[in-house]
Amino acid sequence: MEAYINRKNGKRYIVIAEGIDCTNARDGTPVIVYHPEEKPELVCVREKAEFLVKFDPEPAQ
């Protein structure tokens, strides 16, 4: 799984999957499913385009 860093708060988030929003008004919109590293039980979803603006891939170590 890939890790990303939130540009605003500097926290680490883990991408679980990519998906497609199937809501009628947003059908076909690509989304990212992810969770905060320290709280894996909190699953979050955000449009992929917005996610890529607000998060940076964690640099390879």
Q: List the chain pLDDT tens, one digit each, 61 residues.
A: 899 999 999 999 999 999 999 988 888 999 999 999 999 999 999 999 999 999 999 987 7
**In the chain, where the domains are located:** 3-57
Distance CA 52, CA 22 (A): 20
Q: For residues 41, 46, 51 and 56, what is the CA-based torsion angle, rounded to 10 degrees?
A: 0
pLDDT of 24: 85
